Structure 1
Amino acid sequence: MSDDNIPAPTVWPTLRADDARALITFLVDAFGFVEVAAHGEGAIIHHAELAWPEGGGIMLGSHRDDGSVWTLRPGTFGCYVVTADPDGLFARAKAAGAEIRQDMHDTDYGSRGFAARDPEGNLWSFGTYRGEPRTV
């Protein structure tokens, strides 16, 4: 799929991290996200965007307990990500040291995938299931 066919994301799952720079590096190395932007000062990341090569992306930043609406606890995020190559991604994640929480498996609804945790404790599930067709 060429970049021209990938729609711009309109929903951005968002998470916080104790070590945002290390998490960004892990998500790029282990899962194949692409770092698009990272704004901050020193070790603090105020805002980062990571693109998923098959469409969509996530936003993240350093955890800070400043009373803002985005004061989320690190390690409490969970996300399902669609991939056309779950077996290749599974091998990549294992090679990068991801904590595999559910081995590669096939579901009764036609998906093939696996689940892993990142170093911050967030749960990532990857699979081929794209959701049910929309009727509206």
Structure 2
Amino acid sequence: MTNGPQNTVWPCLRYDDAPGALRFLVDVFGFTERLVVPAEDGDIIHAELSWPEGGAVMFGTTRHERGTAHDEMRSGVTTVYVVTDHVDAVHERVVASGAEIATELHDTDFGSHTFTACDPEGNLWTFGTYRGAEAPELS
């Protein structure tokens, strides 16, 4: 038995300080820990965080020496869009934490109430009410 639909698309990020990113993403943005696989040296091999309103992200520590495509990813080059009905509350929490706001809270021409914040390594996280265009029916 599952707790609802399983995620089938996972944004994946890399951080130079993945343990610090974990604390920031949970404490400031409001994600919840789903799985954290620590390395012996204190880094994070693999982590999964859930968004309370659905969806999730994966991340881990940058490992430039291993040579795989994921290990060669740089930190701070990703943007993630997170749908929430609680944009104002998330914004207040982010501002209170002192995190950088890249785009102030505003309403868009396409009907989203939104803002963008930077995580400590420069990734952009946009929180908004826009849920995307209606998906076509599958035949």
Is residue 30–residue 97 contact of structure 1 (8 Å, CA) maintained in 2? no
> Which consecutive unaligned segments of at least 5 residues does structure 1 have?
none
2:24 — aligned with what? 26
Report the Cα offset of residue 7 of structure 1.
Answer: 2.5
User: Normalising by the residue count of structure 2, what TM-score does the alignment of the two structures yield?
Assistant: 0.91
Once the two structures are superposed, residues 40-77 of structure 1 have per-residue CA deviations (whole angstroms, 9 ceiling, x without a partner) of 22321110000011101000000011111202100001
Equivalent positions of 1:89-108 (< 5 A) are 89-108=90-109
d(CA) in 1 for partners of 2:84 and 2:6? 17
Aligned residues of 1:49 and 1:57 also touching (Cα < 8 A): yes
Q: Do the aligned partners of 1:29 and 1:96 also contact (CA within 8 Å) in 2?
A: no
**CA RMSD of superposed structures (Å):** 1.3
Per the normalisation by structure 1, the TM-score is 0.93
Give the structure 2 partner of residue 55 of structure 1. 54
Q: Equivalent pairs: percent with the same residue?
A: 50
Distance 2:6 2:51 in 1: 11
Partner residue in 1 for 2:36: 38
* Kept in 2: contact 1:7–1:55 (CA 8 A): no
Matched residue type, 2:59: L
**Equivalent residue runs for 1:76-87 within 5 Å:** 76-87=77-88
- Written as runs of structure 1 = structure 2, the 5 A alignment for 1:119-134 is 119-134=120-135
Q: Which residue of 2 aligns with 1:68?
A: 68
| Number of the residue aligned with 1:111 | 112
Question: In structure 2, what is the Cα distance between the partners aligned to 1:96 and 1:37?
Answer: 24
Q: CA deviation at 1:27?
A: 0.5
Q: Identify which of 12, 15, 20 aligns with 1:14.
A: 12
Query: Counterparts of 1:7 and 1:103 in 2: how far apart (Å)?
Result: 33
Extract unaligned runs of 5+ from structure 2.
none
Cα deviation per residue 1:3-62 (whole Å; 9 max; x = unaligned)?
Answer: 95x532111000000000000100111110001111122321110000011101000000
